[in-house]
Amino acid sequence: MQKKVEYNEAIKTKYPEQVVIAVAKDPNGKANPITLGWTMIVSGSPPMMAIAVASTHYSIKAIRHCKCFTIAFPSADMADAALFFGSHSGRDMDKFAEFDCETAPAEVIDSVLINDAVANFECKLESETVAGDHIVFVGKVVCSHTSTEPKKRLYTVAPGHKMGAL
């Protein structure tokens, strides 16, 4: 049986929720990572992925500037990095300089890969759509990478940004 409840109550049932780190270079060439839970695959052939980014976030400017972004699946041991990248703004700092997180140049797009991630997907921006207080960016995956060592993916397992493996 179902009972009607407020949205904020109902949406607490969403956990565990996947975590990704999207990376895009700003107009100064600074690679800016942002942690996102709102992401999905949107197409199989060609492969495409979408991310929803809050309209006020600095990453909006970076993605619109370079018209591409990396989607990294952080590994379970990257919870601290994911929390840092998700709670600071690239307007004020160089997040990759402030928080130790090795990167390597992407192969096809002008972005970077996160070395310790489970996987990295290089995406070329295909479209953007306003959806409430977020912008949905759809990217076509043009190059894919996985970790050379087996790793588990990071999830948000409970409210309050509680993250871990499953």
Give contact residues for its own copies (rule: CB under 8 A).
1-7, 9-11, 13-18, 37-48, 50, 52, 73, 104, 107, 113, 115, 117-121, 126-127, 129, 131-134, 136, 138, 140-141, 143-149, 153, 155, 166
> Cβ of residue 52: shortest distance to its own copies, in angstroms?
4
Residue nearer to its own copies on the CB measure, 83 or 125: 125
Q: Which two tokens stand for residue 159?
A: 């409210």
Residue nearer to its own copies on the CB measure, 66 or 117: 117
Q: Which two tokens stand for residue 34?
A: 């942002």
Q: Which two tokens stand for residue 87?
A: 């709670």
Residue nearer to its own copies on the CB measure, 58 or 137: 137
> Cβ of residue 147: shortest distance to its own copies, in angstroms?
6
CA 69/CA 32 separation, integer angstroms: 10
CA 161/CA 143 separation, integer angstroms: 30
Residue nearer to its own copies on the CB measure, 25 or 134: 134
CA 110/CA 70 separation, integer angstroms: 9
CB atoms within 10 A of CB 143: 15
